[in-house]
Amino acid sequence: MKLYRPAEVRDLLPLPLYAERVPCGFPSPAQDYIEKRIDLNDLMVQHPSATYFLRVSGDSMIEAGICEGDMIVVDCSLRAKHGDIIVAALDGEFTIKQLRLHPSVLLVPANSKHSPIPINTPEALEVFGVVTYVIKSTH
């Protein structure tokens, strides 16, 4: 897994953010005005110097909505806590799992086909950041 490869710097393109929320149920009358323009970096990146993006491979987190080919936003300035989804290295192997700290330390997949990974020696686990957003493609 490639951990980080800086992208080329391009001009920022603020995108429209509409004031009205769109329900997933029955349609409602649309609002015809834009509340403001947003930059997705402003929305998803709280700590620019500590944030990176990764493309996901594998199926161990599908029940958490993280699927093959998705992109995740990872903030390495955040302290990982119980229940966070993290990017970690365990004995040199990179993985994305949910961190469980009690009653014992585990890396827990979000796929019933995979087993939790017990962390018996804390020095074998290195946390590379907390997943803050998942970017999905519908095509």
CATH of the domain at 57: 2.10.109.10
Domain tally, the chain = 1
pLDDT value for 8: 53
Q: For residue 136, indicate whether it is catalytic.
A: no
70 alpha-carbon distance from chain centroid: 9
Tell me if 34 is assigned to some domain. no
Tell me if 108 is assigned to some domain. yes
Q: Write out pLDDT tens, residues 95-124.
A: 999 999 999 999 999 999 999 999 988 788
Q: Write out pLDDT tens, residues 44-57.
A: 888 888 899 999 99
Q: How far apart are CA 59 and CA 120, in angstroms?
A: 24
Sequence-ordered list of residues with C-beta below 8 angstroms from that of 45, at least 6 positions apart, any chain: 51, 73, 75
Exactly one of 49, 97, 112, 113 is catalytic; which is it?
97
Exactly one of 49, 60, 104, 115 is catalytic; which is it?
60
- The rounded mean pLDDT for the chain is 82
pLDDT value for 58: 94
Percent residues over pLDDT 90 in the chain: 52
Q: For residue 57, indicate whether it is catalytic.
A: no
Tell me if 109 is assigned to some domain. yes
Tell me if 3 is assigned to some domain. no
Assess whether pLDDT exceeds 80 at residue 32. Answer: no
Assess whether pLDDT exceeds 60 at residue 129. Answer: yes
Which domain, by its residues, includes 79? 47-135
Tell me if 120 is assigned to some domain. yes
Q: Write out pLDDT tens, residues 71-87.
A: 999 999 999 999 999 99
Q: Give the angle subtended at the CA of 57 by the CAs of 56 and 59, to the nearest 5°.
A: 105
Q: Give the number of other CB atoms < 10 A from CB of residue 32.
A: 7
Q: Is residue 70 a contact partner of residue 62, using CB atoms and an 8 Å limit?
A: no
Phi first, then psi: what are they for 15, rounded to 5°? -105, 155
Token reading at 22: 């769109």
Tell me if 65 is assigned to some domain. yes
